């Protein structure tokens, strides 16, 4: 079905079949209505996306806007802090004072806050006017937050290029980061258990099968990457690999600096790399989504938002059958593409 009568949103939005949606909602307990597929590639999103699709697609992009985009758990938070620091002349004091969630509105987060869950969060935080204010802020549509922002805007999104404003690279800039999908799946599995807006209660093997069968948010994974990969030579797009950041962070910093027309000394880059190190990151309240913890949106006792941050950790989770399945899935998805991860070939 096309949800918009004026047809300004160019892609078809189709409801996921009710029986399948009901089965998925048994495992993803943060969703209470259903899911949709968007466009010819069938991007999988919560039902609430219908309310924001047109607003996001037609949002006014400013020439100073910087988008940091990725499939979730691809090094997004790491890249956000790296980009913000480079763009803001290494302002450590401001970075420490203002949480990353406030420096980077999450464009589509509101579509994941189902009214049932929002009411629950509201009741749990009803004793604190400040927490209720924060709840309204994090659940407000990103387009509304951004429209009210009068300074340079830094925007986080996991949406694919085809549903973002078509003027994005004409006016703004984007840094896109990609990561080995096996590591992505492990990391996203943990986040889905941690964050109540997803509320995943199944095991990893089941989760992996949802992921590779495009039955999870923001999938299909490889289509998401390929859309950005096709734009990688655009002068207003920088395409990074998570594995690049882990292998040679100073080189990645220099690439970002060049992209943003900034120059820093070797000493300044070394200090920034220390700030961005995984140990430093784990203890950095500004990037660890403490606001979400305070509101109870993150489950106490689960692993933190910033986990191990290493490449290749998927091997601890995959049995032989899953490893072979992953090899076939990756090969099938890359056979007609020149996209390759820097650390393996097909």
Catalytic site positions: 158
Q: Under a CB-based contact definition with an 8 Å cutoff, are residues 84 and 154 in contact? A: yes
Whole-number Å distance between alpha carbons of 249 and 272:
10
Residue 16's Cβ-side half-sphere holds a number of Cα atoms within 13 Å equal to: 25
- The SS3 assignment for 59 reads coil
Task: Return the H-helix or E-strand segment holding 86.
Answer: helix 76-87
Edge-first strand listing for the sheet containing 43-46:
13-15, 35-38, 43-46
* Cβ-contact 159, 72 below 8 angstroms: no
d(CA 179, CA 244): 9
Task: Pinpoint the alpha helices (H) of 220-319.
Answer: 221-229, 242-247, 249-259, 266-275, 278-282, 290-294
CB contact set of 336 (below 8 Å; sequence gap of 6+): none
The widest CA-to-CA distance across the chain, in whole angstroms, is 58
CB atoms within 10 A of CB 322: 19
Which helix (H) or strand (E) is 35 found in, with range?
strand 35-38
């Amino acid at each position: 079905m096309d949800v918009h009568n004026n047809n300004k949103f160019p892609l078809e939005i189709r409801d996921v079949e009710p029986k399948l949606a009901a089965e998925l909602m048994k495992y993803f307990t943060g969703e209470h209505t259903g899911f949709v597929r968007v466009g010819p590639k069938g991007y999988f999103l919560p039902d609430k996306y219908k309310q924001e699709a047109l607003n996001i697609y037609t949002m006014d992009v400013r020439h100073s806007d910087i988008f940091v985009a990725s499939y979730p758990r691809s090094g997004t938070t790491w890249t956000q802090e790296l980009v913000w620091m480079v763009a803001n002349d290494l302002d450590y004091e401001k970075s420490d004072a203002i949480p990353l969630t406030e420096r980077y509105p999450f464009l589509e987060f509101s579509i994941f806050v189902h009214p049932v869950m929002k009411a629950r969060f509201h009741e749990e935080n009803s004793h604190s006017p400040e927490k209720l204010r924060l709840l309204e802020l994090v659940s407000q549509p990103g387009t509304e937050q951004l429209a009210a922002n009068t300074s340079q805007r830094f925007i986080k999104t996991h949406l694919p290029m085809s549903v973002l404003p078509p003027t994005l690279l004409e006016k703004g800039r984007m840094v896109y980061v990609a990561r080995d999908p096996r590591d992505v799946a492990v990391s996203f599995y943990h986040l889905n258990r941690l964050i109540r807006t997803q509320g995943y209660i199944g095991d990893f093997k089941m989760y992996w099968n949802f992921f590779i069968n495009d039955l999870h948010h923001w999938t299909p994974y490889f289509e998401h990457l390929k859309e950005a990969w096709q734009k990688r030579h655009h002068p207003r797009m920088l395409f990074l690999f998570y594995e690049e950041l882990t292998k040679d962070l100073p080189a990645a910093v220099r690439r970002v600096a060049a992209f943003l027309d900034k120059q820093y000394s070797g000493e300044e880059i070394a200090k920034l790399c220390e700030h961005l190190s995984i140990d430093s990151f784990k203890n950095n309240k500004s990037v660890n989504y403490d606001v979400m913890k305070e509101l109870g949106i993150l489950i106490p006792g689960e692993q933190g938002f910033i986990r191990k941050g290493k490449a290749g950790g998927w091997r601890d989770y995959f049995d032989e059958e899953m490893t072979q399945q992953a090899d076939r899935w990756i090969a099938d998805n890359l056979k007609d593409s020149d996209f390759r991860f820097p650390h393996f070939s097909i």
